[in-house]
C-alpha cells in the first residue's frame, strides 16, 4: 500500500512525471533556497530527494521577496531527451498586483546540469509546459487581473482571470494566438493548470477554491487544444471542501501520471490539521499525496469512489514503506546535509560555511529579514519530534548579536531560543540564554519575550526543542543534563492558519540554527551537530 502523504512536511503543488521506470515529483519551495524540490521513486511508495535545481544567481535570486513569495507551483516534464522545469518567481503577492515572472530550465538528467533560464512571461503564476504528440509545445498559465472591483466585479473571483495557453518554442518564444481555455467553475480561484492527452482528448486539470479548506482539482476535456472544454460529470475530480471529517484536508492541485503497466495515479497537495484544536492549523504545511484513479467513459475518477482522497491506496508494486528514521548530523565535512535549506539568497557563503568541524553561521540581518538572514533549517515532517544542536565558539559582545535554535514559519511566526548578552557593547557583558517569539503580530512583527534571561558561562551549550502537536518546549544543557528553558509555547502558530488575520501565507514549519548580528560586525557562531528525531524513529 501507499500511505499518504508520500512527501510529508512542506511539499506543495506536486508536479509528477515518469521517465522509464522512475517517477519524479517537483514541489514548490517559495522563499527557501535552493529553489524547487525534486524527489524520485521507482515504486510510488518510497521517495528520495533527487535535487534542488535552482541553485545559482542566474537562475534564482529571491533577496527582497516577501514571505510566501518566490517559487510557486513548478511544472516538471520530459521530452526530446530533456527534463523541462517551468517555474514562477513571485516578487509581490499582496494587494491588487502580483509580480510573477515565469521561466524554463532544462537538463539531460535529473541531477543536471540545469541550464540558465529562458524567460516565458509574467502574465500570471502557475505556468505549465505541455508537449503535444505532434512535437509542438504550449505554455499554459493563469492570467492575473489587477482590475478586481472594477469591470471584472461580475466574476466570482475577478483577479483569477482564467487559464490561457499559447504556443512556444525555444527559438521563437511565445507565438501564435493566445487561447482562453477556461474561466473555471463556480468554485473560482482557478489556477494550477496542467494539460494531459489520452485517446484523442485533451484533459485540462486545474486547482480551484484557493489553497485552503475549499481546495479542489477540477477536470475538463476537449477534442481540440483550444477548446471548447467541457466539465467533468462531477466537476471536481478530488476535493475535501464538503468533508471536514476527512484526514487529508485542503486537497487539490496535482497532476496525472501513468505507470508502465497503464495504471493511472493523480498527485495532489493536502494538509493534516492538528487534532483537538478549535481552529484548524497544520504546521506541517501543504504536503504531497497521491491517489489511484480509473478511467470510465474517458473521464478520470478516484478508484475508491467519490472525491475525498484516501490515506492508503494500492501501490503499483508490492513494496514495503520505509520506517521512520532519526537523522543525526555532524558537521564534520564541507557539504551541507541535503535536508537543510536557507532563505532567499543565491550567495550562501555570506551566511554560512562548513569548516570541516562545524557549520559556521555569520550573523547578518535580523530573524525577520527578507534579504540576508543566517538561518539554516530543515522541514518539520512529523507532529511529534525532538531536535538538538550544539553551539560552540560564540561570545556575543552586544545584545545585537544572538545565535541558537529556532522553530520557524516566517518573520511573523517563530520561536527562537538564543544565546546573547544584555550588554550594549560598552563592556564585558554576561552571556544569557533567552527566547524571542513572534506569534503572528502581522503586519508589525513585534517580539515577545516568554522567559527571563538565564545567565550562562562561556563555552559550549546544547539546545533542544520538543514538539508535540500544538505544544513545544525548549531545553538547554551546559554539560550537567537537560533543563527546561522558559514556558511551554504554542507550536500551532507555525502554520498557514496560525494567528489572525489569515494573510495569505502558505509554507510550513521549519526547525534549525540561526544567528544574527544587527550591529553589522558579522559575529560568527559554530554549530557542531544537529539531530532530528521523530517519535518512534529507529
Over residues 432-438, mean pLDDT: 96
DSSP state of 321: P
Structure confidence at residue 446 (pLDDT): 82
Structure confidence at residue 363 (pLDDT): 97
- The model's pLDDT over 14-40, given as tens digits with 9 standing for 90+, comes to 999 999 999 999 999 999 999 999 999
Taking 90 as the threshold, does the pLDDT of residue 155 lie above it? no
Which of 91-100, 151-160, 190-199, 490-499 has the weakest average pLDDT?
151-160
Structure confidence at residue 95 (pLDDT): 82
> Interior CA angle at 287 toward 282 and 293, to 5°?
125
Over residues 194-215, mean pLDDT: 96
Structure confidence at residue 191 (pLDDT): 96
At residue 157 the predicted structure's pLDDT band, cuts being 50, 70 and 90, is: low
Catalytic residue IDs: 372
Structure confidence at residue 151 (pLDDT): 47
Over residues 205-214, mean pLDDT: 94
Q: 348: buried, middle or exposed (CB in 10 Å: 19+, 13-18, 0-12)? A: middle
Sheet of 454-455, strands arranged across: 374-379, 510-517, 401-410, 413-421, 431-439, 454-455
How far apart, in whole angstroms, are the C-alpha atoms of residue 328 and residue 322?
A: 18
Spell out the domains of the chain, with CATH numbers in brackets: 13-256 (2.115.10.20), 327-534 (2.60.120.200)
How far apart, in whole angstroms, are the C-alpha atoms of residue 401 and residue 487?
A: 23
Taking 80 as the threshold, does the pLDDT of residue 405 lie above it? yes
* pTM score, whole prediction: 0.96
Q: Average model confidence (pLDDT) for the chain?
A: 94
Q: Helix or strand or coil: residue 132?
A: coil
Structure confidence at residue 499 (pLDDT): 76
Taking 50 as the threshold, does the pLDDT of residue 285 lie above it? yes
How far apart, in whole angstroms, are the C-alpha atoms of residue 385 and residue 1?
A: 25
At residue 152 the predicted structure's pLDDT band, cuts being 50, 70 and 90, is: very low
How far apart, in whole angstroms, are the C-alpha atoms of residue 40 and residue 23?
A: 6
The separation between CA 517 and the C-alpha centre of its own chain, rounded to angstroms, equals 27
Over residues 323-351, mean pLDDT: 96
Q: Are 408 and 377 in contact (CB under 8 A)?
A: yes
Taking 80 as the threshold, does the pLDDT of residue 502 lie above it? no
Over residues 388-413, mean pLDDT: 95
- The model's pLDDT over 461-501, given as tens digits with 9 standing for 90+, comes to 999 999 999 999 999 999 999 999 999 999 999 999 987 65
Taking 90 as the threshold, does the pLDDT of residue 424 lie above it? no
The residue among 100 and 94 whose pLDDT is bigger is 100
CA distances (Å), origin 208, targets 105, 184, 291, 476: 27, 8, 18, 45
Structure confidence at residue 159 (pLDDT): 86
Amino acid at each position: 500500500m501507499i500511505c499518504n502523504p508520500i512527501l510529508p512536511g512542506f511539499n506543495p503543488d506536486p508536479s509528477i512525471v515518469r521517465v522509464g521506470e522512475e517517477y519524479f515529483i517537483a514541489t514548490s519551495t517559495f522563499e527557501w533556497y535552493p529553489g524547487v524540490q525534486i524527489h524520485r521513486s521507482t515504486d510510488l511508495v518510497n521517495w528520495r530527494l533527487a535535487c534542488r535545481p535552482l541553485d545559482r544567481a542566474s537562475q534564482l535570486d529571491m533577496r527582497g521577496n516577501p514571505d510566501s513569495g518566490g517559487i510557486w507551483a513548478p511544472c516538471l516534464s520530459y521530452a526530446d531527451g530533456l527534463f523541462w522545469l517551468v517555474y514562477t518567481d513571485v516578487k509581490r503577492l499582496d494587494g491588487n498586483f502580483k509580480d510573477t515572472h515565469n521561466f524554463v530550465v532544462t537538463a539531460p538528467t535529473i541531477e543536471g546540469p540545469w541550464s540558465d533560464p529562458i524567460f516565458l512571461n509574467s502574465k500570471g503564476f502557475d505556468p505549465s509546459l505541455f508537449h503535444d504528440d505532434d512535437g509542438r509545445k504550449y505554455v499554459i498559465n493563469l492570467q492575473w487581473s489587477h482590475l478586481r472591483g472594477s469591470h471584472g466585479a461580475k466574476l466570482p473571483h475577478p483577479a483569477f482571470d482564467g487559464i490561457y495557453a499559447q504556443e512556444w518554442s525555444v527559438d521563437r518564444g511565445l507565438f501564435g494566438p493566445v487561447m482562453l481555455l477556461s474561466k473555471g467553475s463556480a468554485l473560482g480561484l482557478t489556477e494550477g493548470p496542467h494539460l494531459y492527452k489520452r485517446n484523442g482528448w485533451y484533459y485540462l486539470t486545474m486547482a480551484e477554491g484557493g489553497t485552503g479548506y475549499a481546495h479542489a482539482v477540477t477536470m475538463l476535456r476537449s477534442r481540440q487544444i483550444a477548446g471548447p472544454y467541457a466539465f467533468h460529470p462531477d466537476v471536481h475530480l478530488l476535493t475535501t471542501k464538503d468533508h471536514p471529517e476527512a484526514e487529508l484536508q485542503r486537497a487539490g492541485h496535482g497532476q496525472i501520471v501513468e505507470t508502465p503497466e497503464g495504471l493511472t495515479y493523480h498527485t495532489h497537495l493536502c494538509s493534516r490539521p492538528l487534532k483537538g484544536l478549535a481552529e484548524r492549523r497544520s504546521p506541517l504545511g501543504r504536503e504531497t499525496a497521491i491517489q489511484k484513479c480509473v478511467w470510465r467513459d474517458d473521464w478520470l475518477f478516484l478508484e475508491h469512489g467519490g472525491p475525498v482522497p484516501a490515506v492508503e491506496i494500492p501501490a503499483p508494486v508490492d513494496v514495503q514503506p520505509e520506517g521512520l528514521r532519526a537523522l543525526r548530523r555532524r558537521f564534520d565535512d564541507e557539504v551541507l546535509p541535503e535536508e537543510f535549506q536557507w532563505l532567499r539568497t543565491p550567495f550562501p557563503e555570506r551566511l554560512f560555511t562548513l569548516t570541516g568541524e562545524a557549520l559556521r553561521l555569520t550573523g547578518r540581518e535580523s530573524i525577520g529579514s527578507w534579504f540576508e538572514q543566517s538561518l539554516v533549517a530543515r522541514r518539520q515532517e512529523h507532529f511529534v519530534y525532538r531536535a538538538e544542536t550544539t553551539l560552540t565558539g560564540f561570545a556575543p559582545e552586544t545584545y545585537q548579536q544572538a545565535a541558537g535554535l529556532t522553530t520557524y514559519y516566517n518573520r511573523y511566526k517563530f520561536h527562537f531560543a538564543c544565546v546573547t548578552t544584555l550588554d550594549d557593547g560598552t563592556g564585558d557583558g554576561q552571556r544569557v540564554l533567552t527566547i524571542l517569539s513572534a506569534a503572528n503580530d502581522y503586519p508589525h512583527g513585534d517580539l515577545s519575550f516568554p522567559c527571563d534571561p538565564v545567565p550562562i558561562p562561556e563555552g559550549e551549550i546544547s539546545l533542544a526543542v520538543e514538539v508535540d502537536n500544538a505544544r513545544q518546549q525548549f531545553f538547554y544543557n551546559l554539560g550537567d543534563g537537560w533543563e527546561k528553558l522558559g514556558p511551554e509555547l504554542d507550536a500551532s502558530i507555525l502554520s498557514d492558519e496560525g494567528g489572525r488575520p489569515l494573510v495569505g501565507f502558505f509554507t510550513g514549519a521549519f526547525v534549525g540554527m540561526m544567528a544574527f548580528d544587527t550591529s553589522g560586525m558579522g559575529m560568527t557562531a559554530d554549530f557542531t551537530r544537529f539531530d532530528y528525531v521523530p517519535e518512534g524513529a529507529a
